[in-house]
Structure 1
Amino acid sequence: MSSRLTAQDVTLSYGERVVSTRVSLAVPDGSFTAIVGPNACGKSTLLKAFVRLLTPSSGTVHLDGRDVADHRPKRFARQVGFLPQGLVAPENIIVRRLVARGRYPHQSLLGTGSTADEDAVRSAMAVAGVADLAERPVEELSGGQRQRVWIAMVLAQETPYLLLDEPTTFLDITHQYELLALFARLRDEGRTIVAVLHDINQACRFADHIVAMKDGRVVTQGPPSDVVDAALMGEVFGLPSLVMPNPATGTPMVVPTV
């Protein structure tokens, strides 16, 4: 399977604290890749390296065969959208204007919006389920509503790659499943999705490529049915469990036995 976005033997550090050593990962084009693993295992750090927020101490991250650091910022932002954790909206900004910030990579130096920008913003708000909040100040919204607004902003960027760090945070279970189903549809339409997820059953149900990490390394990767089993749950999470087919989807379903 082809891959435009790759990490090759990267070592990732925060100052003197090394998080990952010689990690390699090729993101399959047109996949929904879920990165799973215990807290502090390097999942979010790896995403930051893919989107140029963290420069590897050694090794390289490539997009289209070029080091991501060599891409012009706007060109890179037209290819790769990123939703990190813990975003804080500017004071007094309304939903529509925050979502419109996702159009920045497509705009001229004057920053003026076009009809295409307006259409992208409307579409993104509708898809994320926040169109009825367009004129509301972001600071007045609930945590779940704000999270969907941030997702709308990333969708408005209209990139072929979407990288998302725990995108279901603050969402109730209905919105979690709706969002993950949306990512699966975007995958089916040709986009490449990479998401850090904590719920292994959601990852197995919606993603077609699982990357399991522990202690800063990739333990295994592949289709959920090939890699998710009781042995993996024990090795990566230390969780005794049974793994059986989900009766609704046939995908692996983890049932803890503790």
Structure 2
Amino acid sequence: MTTRLTARDLTLRYGERVVSTRLSLDVPDGALTAIVGPNACGKSTLLRAFVRLLKPAEGEVRLDDREVGAYPTKALARMLGFLPQDPLAPEDIRVRQLVARGRFPHQSLLSTWSEEDAEAVAEAMEAAGVTELAGRPVHELSGGQRQRVWVAVVLAQQTPYLLLDEPTSFLDIAHQYQLLQLLAELRDQGRTVIAVLHDVNQACRYADHLIAMKEGRVVAEGTPAEIVDAALLKEVFDLPSVVVPDPVTGTPMVVPAL
């Protein structure tokens, strides 16, 4: 397994509240990694540490064998694209203007808006299915529409790594699967995708690599076929279940046994 993004012996905390202690993992390159686990188990905190929005109390995150804190801000933003859970848009901004902000890491004091920037924005809006919303104020959109716009912002950034925290939130079921299919296509194009997902069955269907977390620690990681069974679901989610093959893909499918 090739890996360029790693975490070593992380202790992560907010003030006095410790979320994770001595957490280590490697993110497989060119794969779609899904992180699953119950609420407040440290999934989002881990992503924030990867993109240095949270400084580890101990340990380090490294990209290409260099600590992420050593990268200049724009240089890191050209490598790691991040979609948080609750992004905030400036008041009265329109969709195309917001998506264009994804090009900020590629701008300099001397650069002007280029044809490459315009193409990146157009392609990102098309991929996220928001082209028809380009002229709409973001605050007028539904929650699902806004979520797709934020996905477009990250896509316009054109980074080799995409880190998405609950990207299917607010989306109806059709748009959830369309987004997951898009992430799989980006993986197939050579991107490395890391997504926090709540739906274990969606994670099993689309992920190459699965990380199951509980109480700030990694309980298991590997391919869905290797690690997902009734015992794991009981340990991580306290959910009695039966795991059967998905009738479409053959990947593990969790059926609650309540």
Question: TM-score higher than 0.5 here?
Answer: yes
Note if 1:18 corresponds to 2:14.
no
Please state whether the residue corresponding to 2:78 is helix, strand or coil.
helix
1:115-134 deviations in Å (ceiling 9; x for gaps): 10000000000000000000
The 8 Å contact of residues 8 and 25 in structure 1, kept in 2 or not, is answered as yes
- Give the deviation of 1:111 after TM superposition: 6.0
Question: Are the aligned partners of 1:12 and 1:21 in contact in 2 as well (CA < 8 Å)?
Answer: yes
Change (3 A) 1:107 1:224: same
Aligned residue in 2 for 1:58: 58
Supply the AA of the counterpart residue of 1:251.
Answer: T
2:233 is aligned with 1:233 = yes
**What CA distance in whole angstroms lies between the structure 2 residues aligned with 1:193 and 1:232?**
23
Inter-partner Cα distance in structure 2 for 1:151 and 1:250: 28
Partners of 1:32 and 1:136 in 2: CA distance: 32
Deviation at 1:112, TM superposition (A): 2.9
CA separation in 1, counterparts of 2:91 and 2:41? 33
Separation in 2, partners of 1:60, 1:89: 30
Q: Check conservation: 1:104, 1:111, Cα contact below 8 A.
A: no
CA distance in 2, matches of 1:170, 1:238: 25
**Shift of the alpha carbon at 1:87?**
1.1
CA shift digits 1:38-84 (9 cap, x unpaired): 00000000000000000000001000001100011111000000000
CA distance in 2, matches of 1:110, 1:133: 30
Question: How many angstroms apart in 2 are the aligned matches of 1:32 and 1:192?
Answer: 6
Structure 2: how far apart are the matches of 1:228 and 1:101? 39
Counterpart for residue 136 of structure 2: 136
The reply to whether residue 71 of structure 1 matches residue 71 of structure 2 is yes
**1:127 alignment partner in structure 2:** 127
Matched, 1:97 2:63: no
Identity %: 69
Q: Does 1:161 align with 2:153?
A: no
DSSP 3-state at the match of 1:116:
helix
Aligned residues: 258
Per the normalisation by structure 1, the TM-score is 0.99
Q: Distance in 2 between matches of 1:207 and 1:200?
A: 10
Alignment of 1:34 with 2:29, yes or no, is: no
- Paired with 1:101 and 1:28, the residues of 2 have a C-alpha distance of 28
**Cα deviation 1:201-224 (Å, max 9, x = unaligned):** 000001110000001000010000
Deviates more, 1:103-112 or 1:204-213: 103-112
- Read off the aligned partner of 1:79 and give its amino acid letter: M
Q: Partners in 2 of 1:92 and 1:56 — Cα distance?
A: 35
Letter in 2 for 1:67: E
2:148 alignment partner in structure 1? 148
**How many angstroms apart in 2 are the aligned matches of 1:211 and 1:113?**
40
Structure 2 residue runs of 5 or longer lacking an equivalent are: none
Distance (whole Å) between structure 1 residues aligned to residue 22 and residue 113 of structure 2: 43
Amino acid aligned to 1:25: L
Greater shift in the superposed pair: 111-120 or 181-190: 111-120
SS at match of 1:4: strand
Deviations along 1:80-130, whole A, 9 cap, x unmatched? 000001112111110000000000000112563111000000000000000
CA contact (8 A) 1:129 1:148 kept: yes
Letter matched to residue 227 of structure 1: I
Question: After the TM superposition, which parts of structure 1 deviate over 2 Å for at least 4 consecutive aligned residues?
Answer: none
Could you list the per-position Cα deviations for residues 165-223 of structure 1 after superposition, in whole angstroms to 9, with x for gaps in the alignment?
00000000000000001000100110000000000000000111000000100001000
Take 1:72 and 1:219, find their aligned partners in 2: how far apart are those partners? Answer: 33
